[in-house]
Structure 1
Amino acid sequence: MASRTDLLAWLNDLLQINYTKIEQCGTGGAYCQVLDSIYGDVPMTRVKMNAKHEYEYIANFKVLQNIFKAHKIDKPVLVDKLVKCKMQDNLEFLQWIKRFWDQNYGGQGYDPVARRKGAPTDTPATIAPLSSGNRAGGLTAGNRSGGKTPIGGHRSGSAQPHNEALVLHLQNQVKELSGHLEGLEKERDFYFEKLREIEILVQQQSEVLEAEQKEDATLKLIQAILYSTEDGFEVPDPNSAAADEEETF
């Protein structure tokens, strides 16, 4: 088994990228391009090498699964685990990818940058955590330095650079969290659209079966899951809502 250091060195050299953690492979882009170095037929324009959100990772793994299917590669791709960017899951999969590459790469020349058409490759595995320690430490330091005001009134002047740095730090955090929130909203919309498509298909098939006076237990089960609610939550009765509106003065 290759070590993490060896795997990263091999991956960075092969793809001309600068990964620092195995977890970054959870974005899926690197896996796709490793297979492209073998077969040369991966649609790299559909691979987002700088993916930052889980729905983008899933789209990359969809490309990877299509590659596996096209080349009859009999290997399960545990997408739900890999996209969480956990080290152990991606380490095991990258070790398998490396063995597969060793067995199938023909030694032909490969230009990874040209195949990516210069697309950016920065791929942070997760959003950076809030630096609560620095924030608390900065405020504490400010409070401790304020025991007594020095003669000459230099206290406020010396605190100003610190306050500006703190404000800048907080502004950067707000900007980072805003970007993360935007990604979560896109991810929410992505999964909602998938569920909506499933709901429409189930509805259409149910109507066909109903016209034929038939039933399908699986379709009924899917509908039950789609329309189920959390405990303590009741779907409002539309007739009751209409009645309430009529009585409102």
Structure 2
Amino acid sequence: MGESRTELLGWLNDLLQVNYNKVEQCGTGGAYCQIMDSVFGDVPMTRVKMNAKHEYEFIANFKVLQNIFRSHKIEKPIPVERLVKCKMQDNLEFLQWIKRFWDSNYGGQGYDPVGRRKGAPTDSPATIAPLAPTARAGGLSAGTARAGGGKTPIGGHRAASTQPHEVVQLRTQLAEMSTHLEGLEKERDFYFNKLRDIEVMVQQQMEELESKGADDETLREIQKVLYSTEEGFEVPDQPVDEEETF
């Protein structure tokens, strides 16, 4: 069994001189990078954004972590797609693993976490709300990241350069929502037309029976179902044209 959340957070805060109060905050990737820096001392901390707040920033941090694993021949897969969602269980399991790695490999040398990150802010949000899922996250793993993939300099000092990426993500979300809405509208029209055909058939059959002085209870029940409404739904004052679809 690994350490508890309280024990892990106490160790993490003491080692990195941060003030995390939830394991989920590790999903930004910054803490994992600096833990590895305390072991090897060669992590490019200027490329690690300790106060990352959006998923694309988390992924950039994990690219750095993947490069560390690759350069030091660490075979442990990094479940980036799950970790960046900042769920407690996924990050707890990975933090437990990284603590065991640290216990086995840390040489006891002095470590200055604030100096290594050059005083960069570490105010990782206590409640993480990633901007949006990204397709690229699923393709990132310790063994499949592109060589040199961690060379893109993303950091707090270049926040302006990340803005276009955020805009692209929002536009992609909007396009996906528009496509989904279009599909829902087509599906609605498809089923409305089917119901309209049934309504016409029932009406024609009822009129034919009435002309013969007959009746059909089943057809009347079908009409009740067709004309029933949900509570709060108002039937239009004007009848709907037979060729009109909504």
| TM-score in terms of structure 2 length | 0.54
Contact 1:26–1:125 under 8 Å retained in 2: no
Matched, 1:99 2:78: no
Map 1:85-124 → 2, pairs under 5 A: 85-124=86-125
In structure 1, give the amino acid aligned to 2:27: G
* 2:240 alignment counterpart: none
Please give the alpha-carbon distance, in whole angstroms, between the structure 2 residues aligned to 1:66 and 1:19: 25
* 2:168 alignment counterpart: 189
Q: Deviations over 1:80-125 (max 9, x none)?
A: 1000000000000000000000000000000000001000000015
Please give the alpha-carbon distance, in whole angstroms, between the structure 2 residues aligned to 1:22 and 1:51: 15
By how many angstroms is 1:185 displaced?
7.4
Q: Deviations over 1:222-242 (max 9, x none)?
A: xxxxxxx76956xxxxxxxxx
By how many angstroms is 1:70 displaced?
0.3
Please give the alpha-carbon distance, in whole angstroms, between the structure 1 residues aligned to 2:168 and 2:16: 32
By how many angstroms is 1:126 displaced?
3.4
Map 1:148-187 → 2, pairs under 5 A: 186-187=165-166
Where relative contact order (Cα < 8 A, 6+ residues apart) is larger, the structure is 2
By how many angstroms is 1:186 displaced?
4.0
> 2:77 is paired with a residue of what secondary structure?
coil
**Structure 1 stretches of 4+ moved >3 Å:** 125-128, 183-188, 190-193, 229-233
* 2:61 alignment counterpart: 60
Gaps of 5+ in 1: 129-182, 194-228, 234-249
How high is the sequence identity, in percent, across the aligned residues?
75
By how many angstroms is 1:188 displaced?
5.2
> How many residues are paired up?
145
Larger Rg: 2
User: Structure 1 90/188 Cα, relative in aligned 2: closer, same or farther at 3 Å?
Assistant: farther
Gaps of 5+ in 2: 130-161, 173-178, 184-246
Map 1:31-46 → 2, pairs under 5 A: 31-46=32-47
Please give the alpha-carbon distance, in whole angstroms, between the structure 1 residues aligned to 2:128 and 2:77: 28
Please give the alpha-carbon distance, in whole angstroms, between the structure 2 residues aligned to 1:23 and 1:77: 16
In structure 1, give the amino acid aligned to 2:168: D
In structure 2, give the amino acid aligned to 1:6: E
**Aligned Cα root-mean-square deviation (Å):** 2.6
In structure 2, give the amino acid aligned to 1:104: N
> 1:96 is paired with a residue of what secondary structure?
helix
